[in-house]
Structure 1
Amino acid sequence: MGATVQDLIQETATIKGAQPIPVGAIRPEKCGRAGRSRHRPRPRRSSGRRIHEDPGNGTDLSQMDVEDVIKVIKAEVGNPQLQQQGFAVLTSKADDPESHQEVARLDGIATIVKAMTEQHQGGELQLAGMNALEKMTSGNPIHTRSMVDSHGINAVSNAMSQDLSKADLQAAGCKILCNVAKHDAYCQEMVAKSGAAQAVLDAMRAHASDSDIQELGCHALKEFAAFNAESQEDIYMRGGIQAVLRAMETFPQLPNLQVMGCGVLRNLAACNSQQQQAVVSRGGIQVVLDAMSAHKEHSLMQWAGCWTLFCLCVHNAEMRSEVYAYGAARAALKALEAHRLEARVQEAGCWLLKELAEHMASCKDRATFSAAIQAALKAVEKYPGNQAVEKAARTALQKLSAFDKEGWVKMACLGRCGRLGRTATMRTLEAIQE
């Protein structure tokens, strides 16, 4: 015969190490189908976490932890709405360091990229995925490298090209590509090889009246081109100079956009005669000078403008003549005078004066030449311990002295001996005489 209910309970108690239960203590009416217990069975838990149900939209992922959200994104390939909700949850957790660690441990960035790649339709899904990637790659080297290794650059560029009309999607794409390019040289190289510059330029052209996208696009292009000849050539060949100058001309009132635009021009033109010529022939000198004039009090604009003008003419005698003819020396002097307390402006302005020294001397512009000498000496006086400023100022004085037939530079140095001090004066004079 089969075991009775009493036998099973007795056996269970013995296995668990409990005391044997007297048979008489078990009441038959509590064990059979006819018996009705007052206690309802407890619901089984699913891994200790509850999945909330939303009657209108299905599963609600907002209360789930990172691990479960990533599992849902992986499992729900044919459910873009649920994957989109998962992306939004990960975006909301992006500021939490523990969530960042979990995303890295579970390869969450690759999961997002794969979901975006598999789901070719639906701009909302792509936007949600890009918002998550933008938050997670911002300042996070692990996530940034993971995105590059999982072909995320191509996923973002493709999403941008497939839905050019969506401004928020284009903005998110520019931010992500900028985050990746400025992370390190390897990531920047991967951006260059992917042709991401085309996606950014397409976004800028499609949203020419959107100042945010113009600024974000310029920022991304600036990072693409920084010390990377391949990206510089790619941006140039795709019409990047024209796109950047058009953005600067369209929004002259926005100093941050002007600064980013100058950054692109600077990185493209430095020591590249072909691209220097392209910027100058398109009217780039005047655009930069207009930006400096419109934002006199903005020190970052003055710094960016001086460096850009320097890069447009360095190692190029023909371009030096053009830059000087537009009044760049006077613009540099105004920047140096207005921002005496900004070391970076002093450095950039002195380097620009160095490039224009010969033209100031040959054009017999004595007032500008004398002002340039005094500006460089003031920089030396103001920043005696700043090597970058000292080098720029003394190099400018050296170049000015080389074209000074009347000895004005030496006399000016001796005249400021009291302010500079004996040591600084001697070092400056030594630099002039080299």
Structure 2
Amino acid sequence: MDTAPPTGGAVSAPVRPIRLGLGANAAQFALLVAVNALVGGMVGQQQTVLPLLAQSVFGLTGYTFIFTYVAAFGITKSIANYFAGTFSDRYGRKPVLLVGWLFALPVPLMLIFAPSWGWVVAANVLLGINQGLTWSTTVVMKIDLVGPRQRGLAMGLNEAAGYGAVAVTSLLAGYLAADYGLRPAPFLLGLFYAALALLLSGVFIRETRGHARLEAALHKAAPHAAPAANPGVLPRADTANPPLRADLTDRQIVALTSLREPALSSASQAGLVNNLNFGLSWGLFPLLFATAHLPVAQIGLLFALYPGVWGVGQLVTGALSDRIGRKHLITAGMALQSAALVVIALGDGFGTWAVGTVLLGAGTAMVYPTLLAVVGDVAHPAWRGRAVGVYRVWRDLGYAVGAVLGGIVADALGLHAAVWAAAGVSAVSATLVAVRMYETHGPEARRA
């Protein structure tokens, strides 16, 4: 879609025309992809290292206590997601992006000089705020730029950059830790990422709220759609883009995205379970792999395989969802995640765990950009930022749920039992999507 707003009247100064579409906004889109890679790198700097740091430096042995940093990250990130969506709709996208990067600057220094585990938890609170504000905003900005036709591709590129950077930085951090120790070398990566991202965001990134306003102006209801009798229930039509009203309150948007709207709420629960698996893996996989007495470099490689396949796979799955639709990819992806976790739970060495983490990454790649595309399909451009924020609140609460569930089950029944629990939850999530979600894009799109 390459659409410019109608013009008329005298113009006192040259104005850059606003157009929707990936080709028309290629330079800005590429910059946002680069910035989101730096967002992912901030997480990757610590994923391989912190569980090992907890045991070897701070002497922590209880899994539930070790996972506190993941829970702190997930809770603060989920809250920051909500404010990112609300503030980006109210004040613009770029200011939120800049504030998010300011929260990132102290994180590597706190991890380098942390005298106690409490400092690590506090650093992850700041990291959660950084991730919620920056990642949510880059998602919304890319959806703004590309318009309705290429949302899946846009989200695939966005998430591939972010989680590809998680994988690469996890691998680099593992090698740096093996060669130079657990501190400070791995965390110097994060310091560089934060400084570079602030430069790119402040100098080169442009505001995209005007693109959302243009799409809203072009967002016309189907002629046969009747007004909603209940202000919380939206009219629907048999079109790929439903005629959702623009004048919803924040409370209505929260209710629709969380519970009432079948596609949005199904996406929210699937997102939560997806990140439950990621949160559990973040705290648990390095410890599980260490039980086989694998060297740190091999543990880093195993952990990098999961987000690496996840990141690269999204280059295919995001665009694929634009061609074949969203629902079946999400259902199959959650089922594949469940099967992958079974493989990991049964494993006891590098080979089996490598197969399991590759399958887990593939299942996640099928789900991650597609869920965001569903939100973009259903939400009206006027409140898209808030809908994305609410969805990401639920999705990123999965970090905390995974950390707590994994820690409790691991302490009570062992590390393998915690992986089995996550496999069961993923299977239930796949079933819920299959039963409740409707197709939101393509020729099979329908509206309940």
TM-score range, shorter chain: under 0.3
State the structure with more CA Rg.
1
Larger RCO (CA under 8 A, 6+ residues apart): 2
More helix per residue: 2
